[in-house]
């Protein structure tokens, strides 16, 4: 990270003629990082959804089962 900052700042201050070069390796790292972040977010959302069940959905399912039992009997 220090190398990137050194390339942006010189003795006179911020440089305005900065050139960014993306190599195949850098592009692969960026894409891999974005994909890993997406998978991580989806995994965390799934785990949180299962760890904290929706109380309204649970109540609705209980009521539905109660109604079904009432219709059968």
Contact assessment for residue 46 and residue 53, using Cβ atoms and an 8 Å cutoff: no
> Residues near 14 by Cβ (< 8 Å), separated by ≥ 6?
8
The pLDDT value recorded for residue 25 is 93
pLDDT in tens, 3-17: 767 777 777 777 777
Residue 63 to residues 8, 13, 66, 69, 71: CA-CA distances in angstroms?
63, 68, 5, 10, 12
Domain residue ranges in the chain = 23-73
> Residues near 7 by Cβ (< 8 Å), separated by ≥ 6?
15, 18
The pLDDT value recorded for residue 47 is 93
Q: Is the pTM of this model over 0.95?
A: no
């Amino acid at each position: 990270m220090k190398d990137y900052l050194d390339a942006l700042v010189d003795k006179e201050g911020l440089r305005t003629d900065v050139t960014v070069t993306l190599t195949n390796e850098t592009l692969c790292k960026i894409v891999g990082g974005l994909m890993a972040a997406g998978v991580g977010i989806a995994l965390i959302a799934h785990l949180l959804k299962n760890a904290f069940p929706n109380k309204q959905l649970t109540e609705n399912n209980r009521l539905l089962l109660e109604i079904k039992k009432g219709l059968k009997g």
